[in-house]
Chains A and B, each alone.
Chain A
Amino acid sequence: MGTFIARRLAFMVFVLWGVTLVTFFLSRVVPGDPARLMAGPQASPGAVAHISHIYGLDEPLFVQYGRYMRDLSQGNLGFSFVTRRNVSTDIASFLPATVELAGYALVVGFVLALVTATVAAYRRGTLTDVGGRLSAIAGLSVPAFWLALLLQLLFHTRLGWFPLGGRLDPGATPPPQITGLLTVDSLLTGRFGDFANAVSHLVLPVTTLAVGVYGLMVRIVRTSVIDALGEEYVRTAVAKGLSRWRVLRRHVLRNAMLPTVTVLGLEFGLLAAGVFVVESIFQWPGLGNYAFQAIQANDYSATLGATLVIAAMYVIVNLIVDLAYLYLDPRIRYA
């Protein structure tokens, strides 16, 4: 096991190196001069050249890449032209926001999907099943940007139940950063008002994202549960007189979880990388929004930093998925 994890982590280094190589050179071939954008349109070519020099943008590409890799090896991800901070500082604040949003969306969407899909599978062919499948199709079909705006309009503007956006009310001081997850940090520091504030801000964006997760997971889980229900070991368990709950928990769901966990891992990566539309609408200062702005502005270091982190998240989540297989199916062994 230890060897397996070490090998995967070593593999991750190569993946991330490949990501830096591709992203670095691709970002440089995109037209546009960040120095010009920083200097402003009226600035003289001399001023633009001076800014290029300050940020080393006038050096040959391979020199720039070498310097970037040297800094990266020391944990320095560079400087963001957009936020005017170190990229590592940015990621330390933007990443937890996305993890919190995507994490809750994944949990909420998955739990609701698990219940719906299991009930639908047990009542296969009934109106309940049809209803579950229709709700899944609806969840997959609804565009996130449309749903987000609709939720804002209904639950904020019309009913006033939830805030329009942001992680906390404007001007509110966040709890001291421990994990960066406001719901967790506020509880850890005993700031229960901040906890309620953070939760209220999470409801609408989490709902928006969870609907998509729900739609996908209902289909996966339902199919897996139906497959498991048809297995002989399930019929044997029922014949032995085990309770329905026990059969479901020990024999059906556990086996149905293998494909589900695989998809769940991929879905988390997709959420983290593709959440920028929802973050944008809900003014959520997350990594997706950060990466989107960085790409728009030819903010090289920020683009590279965000891409690296998202790639690392993919690799780590997939490692966790592989490890979860060991628990879910003891027959699996990693050499």
Chain B
Amino acid sequence: MMASWDRRYSRRQFLRGAGGVASGAVAMGSAGSLLAACGSSTSTSTRQQPAALPLKRDPETLIVAMDAFTPDFDPASYFLLAAIVPDFGIYDSLMRMKGNSATDTKPWLAQSISTNANKSVWTFTLRPGVKYSDGTPFDGNALKAAYTRTIKAGLGAGSTLSNYIANPAKQIVVKDPGTVIMDLGTSVPRFDLLLASQYGTGIVNPNVKTQGKDGGHTYLQSHSAGTGAYMVESVSPGSQIVMVQNPHYWGGWSGRHFKKIIILQVPEGSSRRQGMESGDFDIAFASTPQDTQALRTTPGIFVGNQKVLGMDYVILGQYGPLASPLARQAINLLFPTDQYVSSAMRGTIDRPTSVLPDLMLYHAGGTYTPTVNVAKAKTLLQQAGVKPGTQLTYEFYTGQGDAAGLLLQSQLSLAGLNVKIVERAYTAFVGDISSFKPVADRPDMAYWFWWPEYNSPSDFCFPILSAQATPKQKLFNGGYYENTAVNNAINKGFSDPSNTPLLAQLWREAQTVMGSQDPPWLPLGQIIDTSYLRTDIKGYVANPVYVESYDFYALSRA
């Protein structure tokens, strides 16, 4: 899936999502630092790192600068990255991702989990003594009511759970207050990954249903009702969200934790950079690649380096001049990915090795190799019947994708193709790639990015590559891509997720097809979480599934 009204990804605007804010870290302290040094983890506050700037404010308050936030504290609806950042500190889920792993989970509000032999029935023993922020006890009935509300509300976020729980009244059984059984009706070996997702799995206090006629949805736009470590104290749209410690938090407050979390809306990337340099912010969303590169060498500031399960890419339309796979192969052979990653993006994205992001289940590295070969590209274009002088359109939205467009324009001219670059406002752009239009009105190429709700190639690929997810269905397969091998892998991933050997084979085949034979995209790079942190912030571990999200409870100041 993919975007608060800035950082570089617009899913942020979606998830801000399209900006991509995402999942659960755990305090790892110096162990995390060691991993960071190995390039596999992101942690701060190491001894080797230069001391942070002197702090001229309350050391027990954490200040986070986002490009934008959406004040939505309803797990049934929050889906934008702009909303997920605060909500990750407010709501707990049954499971969470472990450390910096993309595949390991740990029980969270579930104390333990067990499953039957074919992994279709999952039993959760709930953590005792958990209370919501208003003091209401959390138990099996509360869990069932919360998930039923999320699934039935029809506000968007329920789609994660409803993949396997369409009928919560029947499928979720409260055996006793401390035990809940979920009968998925099909084998789902990694249901734990879904439950660890940030999207739609937060467990809200079911008492909110008494707040207003809309099941508490309006109430939850300015109040919170979770079991998480923090709760909303005040919201000033366009300015700040202030969160304070939940006095009933099951983790307790005996260790070192921040007393208050302030999330500021700082739309300008340069202001976020200056705020980090001056010590005003503890954590900030990334600014431009240039700013990020500069901050990497700034004493007292740590810049994240964790690859996340997201890809930047250029959609190649399976229609018009690029209808032939040969033509799309040629585009891939013309784009200088290495130059783009190192020069235009300053290493803020990683070189792609597959159409799927590294660390994703069934990722097959080496199925895509960025190569520039102008002569071969010309031959392929000729074979595809694309004549020199043909004009292609490339569409991007303001703030994202302009550099890739300019490079495409320059490189495609080597093969005699003209590229018309079209800049659109974000909402218009989203409309263009997710609304049905005649071929003549569609862009031939369009910048986009995506990440999944949880670590699942089917969840990642369905909305953007499935033949059932084109703009005709108002989804994001904007290139109208259709390939039997890819569709088969996606569908099998949903319908037969337990057949691991088969899925491994299908996904390797699908990645090979997409990487070289029938490319749906031009992969630009894998997204890296380049959040900025002061080096005196301890306990930060970036997780590939939880894009730009921070486990506030795990953080403290050295």
Q: Which A residues lie at the B interface, using CB under 8 A? A: 30-34, 36-48, 50-51, 82-85, 90, 93-94, 149, 152-153, 156-157, 160, 163-167, 169-171, 280-283, 285, 289-290, 293, 295-298
CB-CB nearest in chain A for B158? A47
The 7 closest A-B pairs by CB, nearest first: A32-B427, A40-B79, A39-B156, A84-B221, A83-B237, A31-B431, A43-B156
Chain B contributes a number of interface residues (CB within 8 A of A) equal to 69
| A-B Cβ contacts below 8 A, count | 180
CB-CB nearest in chain A for B265? A283
A92 to B61, CA, bound (A): 29
Is A166 touching B264 in the complex (CB atoms < 8 A)?
A: yes
Is A32 touching B431 in the complex (CB atoms < 8 A)?
A: yes
Is A41 touching B278 in the complex (CB atoms < 8 A)?
A: no
A113 to B476, CA, bound (A): 54
| B68 touches which of A43, A46, A293 (Cβ 8 Å) | A293
B557 within 8 A of A: no
Is A36 touching B79 in the complex (CB atoms < 8 A)?
A: no
A214 to chain B, nearest CB (A): 24
A93 to B144, CA, bound (A): 39
CB-CB nearest in chain A for B236? A285
B211 within 8 A of A: no
- Evaluate whether A93 and B236 lie within 8 angstroms (CB atoms) in the complex, with A32-B431, A40-B79, A296-B426 already known: yes
B239, B240, B266, B428: most-surrounded residue (chain A CB, <10 A): B239
Is B238 touching A285 in the complex (CB atoms < 8 A)?
A: yes
- Evaluate whether A47 and B155 lie within 8 angstroms (CB atoms) in the complex, with A32-B428, A293-B68 already known: yes
Taking CB atoms and an 8 Å cut-off, the chain B residues in 135-156 that contact chain A are 154-156
Is A41 touching B463 in the complex (CB atoms < 8 A)?
A: yes
- For B239, list chain A residues within 8 Å (CB): 166-167, 283, 285
Taking CB atoms and an 8 Å cut-off, the chain B residues in 48-79 that contact chain A are 57-58, 61, 63, 68, 70-72, 77, 79
A160 to B428, CA, bound (A): 41
CB-CB nearest in chain A for B437? A31
- For A94, list chain B residues within 8 Å (CB): 238
Q: Of B10-18, B168-176, B340-348, B526-534, which binds chain A?
A: B10-18
B473 within 8 A of A: yes
A65 to chain B, nearest CB (A): 20
| B237 touches which of A36, A45, A51, A90 (Cβ 8 Å) | A90
Extra A-B contacts (13), CB below 8 Å, given A37-B13, A43-B156, A83-B237 = A31-B435, A33-B430, A38-B156, A39-B156, A43-B79, A46-B154, A47-B155, A50-B155, A84-B222, A171-B262, A289-B238, A297-B13, A298-B427
B482 within 8 A of A: no
Is A40 touching B157 in the complex (CB atoms < 8 A)?
A: yes
Q: 16 A-B residue contacts at CB 8 Å?
A: A32-B428, A33-B430, A39-B77, A39-B79, A40-B1, A41-B450, A42-B160, A45-B475, A51-B154, A84-B70, A85-B71, A85-B222, A94-B238, A166-B239, A285-B265, A293-B5
Q: Of B183-191, B269-277, B401-409, which binds chain A?
A: B269-277
- For B260, list chain A residues within 8 Å (CB): 171
A257 to B298, CA, bound (A): 52
- For A44, list chain B residues within 8 Å (CB): 159
A166 to B263, CA, bound (A): 12
- For A84, list chain B residues within 8 Å (CB): 70-72, 218, 221-222, 237
Is B14 touching A283 in the complex (CB atoms < 8 A)?
A: no
- For A41, list chain B residues within 8 Å (CB): 1-3, 11, 14-15, 17-18, 434, 450, 463, 475-476
- For A293, list chain B residues within 8 Å (CB): 5, 68, 238
- For B435, list chain A residues within 8 Å (CB): 31, 33
Is A149 touching B270 in the complex (CB atoms < 8 A)?
A: yes
| A43 touches which of B2, B159, B264, B265 (Cβ 8 Å) | B159
A152 to B1, CA, bound (A): 36
- For B238, list chain A residues within 8 Å (CB): 83, 94, 285, 289-290, 293
B268 within 8 A of A: yes
Is A45 touching B474 in the complex (CB atoms < 8 A)?
A: yes
- Evaluate whether A165 and B463 lie within 8 angstroms (CB atoms) in the complex, with A31-B427, A42-B79 already known: no
- For B157, list chain A residues within 8 Å (CB): 40, 43
B368 within 8 A of A: no
Is B430 touching A32 in the complex (CB atoms < 8 A)?
A: yes
A285 to B266, CA, bound (A): 10
- Evaluate whether A36 and B278 lie within 8 angstroms (CB atoms) in the complex, with A41-B11, A42-B79 already known: no
Is B5 touching A296 in the complex (CB atoms < 8 A)?
A: yes
CB-CB nearest in chain B for A79? B218
Is A30 touching B68 in the complex (CB atoms < 8 A)?
A: no
- For B80, list chain A residues within 8 Å (CB): 40
CB-CB nearest in chain B for A289? B238
A46 to B427, CA, bound (A): 20
Is B271 touching A33 in the complex (CB atoms < 8 A)?
A: no
Is A30 touching B428 in the complex (CB atoms < 8 A)?
A: yes
B267 within 8 A of A: yes
B518 within 8 A of A: no
Taking CB atoms and an 8 Å cut-off, the chain B residues in 326-352 that contact chain A are none
B242 within 8 A of A: yes
B199 within 8 A of A: yes
A48 to B430, CA, bound (A): 14
A285 to B14, CA, bound (A): 21
Write out, one digit per residue, whether chain B residues 396-416 have a CB within 8 A of any chain A CB (1) or not (0): 000000000000000000000
- For B13, list chain A residues within 8 Å (CB): 37, 296-297
B280 within 8 A of A: yes
B439 within 8 A of A: no
Is B274 touching A157 in the complex (CB atoms < 8 A)?
A: yes
